[in-house]
Structure 1
Amino acid sequence: MSGEIESSKTQGQSEIIVDVEDLHKAYFLGKVAIPALRGVDFQLKRGELVCIMGPSGCGKTTLLNIIGGIDRPDRGKVRFEGVELTSLNDNQLADLRLDKLSFVFQFYNLLPLLSAKENVEIPLVFSGIDKKTREQKAADLLEIVGLKGREEHLPTELSGGEQQRVSISRAMANDPDLMICDEPTGDLDSKSARNILQILYNLNKEFGKTILMVSHDRRVALICDRILHMLDGKIVEEEQTPSFAGSLLDDSIDS
């Protein structure tokens, strides 16, 4: 990977960054409760790359939304770096999402009238970073994901894979402690998907970024350290992936 970024690796590599305990969540269709989570328990260590895998409707996205402070559970606890998320108000959760964790979505969620660089700058604007500093950091992040020379392109001038690279750069802007990736390759062709996986793998292995990913595709999950298999709102199995799995990725992230 080209470019430079400060590593977030710490001596406390085994520290638990996310601790989920007996998590329950239901949604209502009229007066009928539809359970989404039915007692989820797991821990995520700092520096891990973990995938939650399962079929559509099993509760994966609901779980990510609660861990990311977008939604709240009906019962149970989520601790992020030791802080119980249900104890935080909406403003505190917003600050947490800005400073400590970030999201990469399946459909990129870029602002269409802003350039690639300007999209990456958005979290830095909200953090009060001066214009010169944020422009340089955005350019550096885009170089890391292989988009040097495309900084001024609008999203409509970029391929799907390139838009997702911009999304990843934006997610890295405030150097988050946790990146949450919801089906990051779900809308991409196989070559673009491989490129995105290579970037995420490198961010984890080279820069120590903690990444929690969701996918229904085992080929995606195999680059991770662990796979948590989810079914009907529960984690039903934990799988350690083979140590060579990451080597199956192509080293190149060129378009």
Structure 2
Amino acid sequence: MSSSRSPNARGRRASSLAAGGLALAVVAELSSAGLLGLSGWFISACAVAGAATFSSFSYIAPSGGVRAFAMARVAGNYSKRLVLHAAALRRIATARAGLFDRAAAGDRAQVDGLWSGELLDRSMADADSDGMALIECTTPVAVTAALTVGAVLAVAVSTSVVPAAVLLAGVVVMAVIAHRTPGTAREAEQHTRKALRAELVTAVDAWTELASLGAAERLAARTTTRFTRLDTAREAAGRHRHRTTLAIGLIGTATLTATVAVGSAPDAPTFVFVALLALGVLSQAEQLATAAEARAIVKAAHRRLTANLPRPASDPASPAMRSWSTEQGIGFADFPLPPMALRPGRVLGVTVARGAVLVVTGRSGSGKSTLLRALASSLRQATDGRESRPAVVAVAADDHLFTGTLGSNWRLADAALTDDEIDERLAELRLSDSGLTARTPVGPGGRQLSGGELRRVYLGRALARHPHVLIVDEPTTGLDDRTARHVLGILANLPDTTVVLALHDVPACLESAGHMTRLPLDHTSQEAP
């Protein structure tokens, strides 16, 4: 399938499936209501005919109708489940694809700092809720509306307009009560459960550190408080749901009683038919409360999905810069240091030859990390990304390892890496001295590795991509002097890769490199050439 027609084709296919599923749902519920009413009428008519001395009642046609309704109900229910779930899955896929399309089309500096695991998890859950709205919200409303119209017409024809009007009024009142009852209590319960789950996962991962801090008791008390909040939220949601269900149930009972009382049925079978038909409609109308509750959650999810992507508070806007990348090297100009830097407003620019090293130096808070993030984002935007070899690979100070093995993490950079190749590269980074291999488990977030081992694992994974430009923030963090010199020697001898490093000071092993350019950011350093 061509890419030009895939988004529109997916949307049309999902809409067609949704319309077909709704039609099947209506057929299934109409068949259920018809089966209920006709069965009651048929049984009553048979009883009346059996009590009469002489009767010409024929059971052939009504029994055929009962069988027809029963078969239509079974086939309709089975078909609607297949079609509605297929449509819902397509809507979920479309919502997820749209979410990532909007992210890819947005500002790269914003997107780079946006996708935390928590936000991604919430976005995926919102996409699921948005897709399931077809089953949880739209279908109950459409079925109730169709069933009400059909039942009102049937009651009016069988008896009179008055009981039909009473039935219609009762369903409308039930719908109004359900509509005016938002799902805020259920949403609050879900939010509290999510916060508790996140804290428990974090506490399990960091239990050793928490115990060493003597914070276990305080954490247990805080977790107990969160459990209490969850119980309170559940109770509030349960009371809220119970009140709504009770109100709708009372209205339904009153409507059923009034419909039967004001009806002028010509005979007993017709009376039973009207009563059972009204009961079926009112039972379906009770589902509107659940649909309204789900609708409030779906609206909130849809609002978050369609809103502009938020910028996290911890990731301030990166200053704009003009950058370029050619076969001869990279460069940037007109970069103003941000307000949080030690020298805010200072405009920077530099050119670095291919295979050379640019070292950005300065004290903590001087703006080194901000400059590296802005450069990585700007260079990515300046390239078209059509090459298999990436233009820019950045290793942040707080990079991430996924739970698994070293090999599984490095294969995210190069899926073709074998265990032997990974072991060779681990040896080059002197990680094999610590007994690390491709099959070594790293634990959640790399917690089984030391800080120095983590930095070298991040670097090794980045080097596995063979990028044109490698940007590394604090490559020697957690390393002893000997290992730090070895790692910097590797980074300084990548003839086909331009390397940008952020360091507090330039070590002697880089000072002697003839292809190193220094860019100081603080007051005490000399100005850049």
TM-score by length of 2: 0.32
Aligned counterpart, 2:503: 215
**Alpha-carbon distance change, 217 to 161 in structure 1, aligned in 2, over 3 angstroms:** same
Distance of 2:522 and 2:489 partners within structure 1:
25
The SS at the match of 1:231 is coil
Structure label with greater radius of gyration = 2
The SS at the match of 2:417 is helix
Distance of 1:206 and 1:175 partners within structure 2:
9
Q: Which residue identity is paired with 2:527?
A: V
The alignment of Structure 1 onto Structure 2 pairs a total of residues equal to 192
Indicate yes or no: 2:397 matched with 1:106. yes
**Alpha-carbon distance change, 106 to 87 in structure 1, aligned in 2, over 3 angstroms:** closer
Return the match for 1:170 from 447, 456, 461: 461
- Where in structure 1 do 4 or more consecutive aligned residues deviate above 6 Å? 95-98
Return the match for 2:368 from 31, 53, 60: 60
Indicate yes or no: 2:330 matched with 1:18. yes
Aligned counterpart, 1:185: 476
Distance of 2:447 and 2:521 partners within structure 1:
35
**Alpha-carbon distance change, 87 to 53 in structure 1, aligned in 2, over 3 angstroms:** closer
1:17 Cα deviation after fit: 1.8
Q: Is the 8 A contact 2:356 2:495 kept in 1?
A: no
Post-superposition Cα deviations, 1:27-52, rounded to whole Å, max 9, x if no partner, equal 6x9xxxx9855321101111112211
1:54 Cα deviation after fit: 1.3
1:106 Cα deviation after fit: 3.1
1:116 Cα deviation after fit: 1.5
Quick check: which one's strand share is greater? Answer: 1
Distance of 1:24 and 1:96 partners within structure 2:
31
- The within-5 A match list for 1:244-255 is none
Quick check: which one's helix share is greater? Answer: 2
Aligned counterpart, 1:245: none
Distance of 1:198 and 1:111 partners within structure 2:
23
- Answer with 203-212 or 167-176: which moved more: 203-212
- The within-5 A match list for 1:233-244 is 236-238=527-529
Distance of 1:202 and 1:218 partners within structure 2:
15
Q: Is the 8 A contact 1:165 1:196 kept in 2?
A: no
Q: Is the 8 A contact 1:105 1:181 kept in 2?
A: yes
1:161 Cα deviation after fit: 1.9
Distance of 1:142 and 1:96 partners within structure 2:
27
Indicate yes or no: 2:357 matched with 1:49. yes
Distance of 2:387 and 2:511 partners within structure 1:
29
Return the match for 1:152 from 439, 452, 456: 439
Distance of 1:162 and 1:105 partners within structure 2:
15
Distance of 1:100 and 1:38 partners within structure 2:
27
Distance of 2:337 and 2:491 partners within structure 1:
32
1:163 Cα deviation after fit: 1.7
Q: Which runs of 5+ in 1 are unaligned?
A: 1-13, 73-79, 239-255
Distance of 1:39 and 1:227 partners within structure 2:
16
**Alpha-carbon distance change, 50 to 121 in structure 1, aligned in 2, over 3 angstroms:** same
Q: Which runs of 5+ in 2 are unaligned?
A: 1-325
1:212 Cα deviation after fit: 0.9
Q: Is the 8 A contact 1:49 1:204 kept in 2?
A: yes
Aligned counterpart, 1:76: none
Distance of 2:401 and 2:350 partners within structure 1:
34
Q: Is the 8 A contact 1:229 1:236 kept in 2?
A: yes
- The within-5 A match list for 1:93-132 is 99-107=390-398, 109-124=399-414, 129=415
Distance of 1:141 and 1:230 partners within structure 2:
34
Aligned counterpart, 1:7: none
Post-superposition Cα deviations, 1:13-32, rounded to whole Å, max 9, x if no partner, equal x95421111123646x9xxx
**Larger relative contact order (CA 8 Å, sep ≥ 6):** 1
Q: Is the 8 A contact 1:201 1:223 kept in 2?
A: no
The SS at the match of 1:20 is strand
Percent of aligned pairs with the same amino acid: 22
Distance of 1:38 and 1:97 partners within structure 2:
36
Post-superposition Cα deviations, 1:110-144, rounded to whole Å, max 9, x if no partner, equal 325121122211123xxxx4xxx233554443233
1:160 Cα deviation after fit: 2.1
Q: Is the 8 A contact 2:359 2:506 kept in 1?
A: no
**Alpha-carbon distance change, 47 to 118 in structure 1, aligned in 2, over 3 angstroms:** same
Distance of 1:203 and 1:43 partners within structure 2:
18
Aligned counterpart, 2:490: 202
TM-score by length of 1: 0.61
Distance of 1:100 and 1:87 partners within structure 2:
9
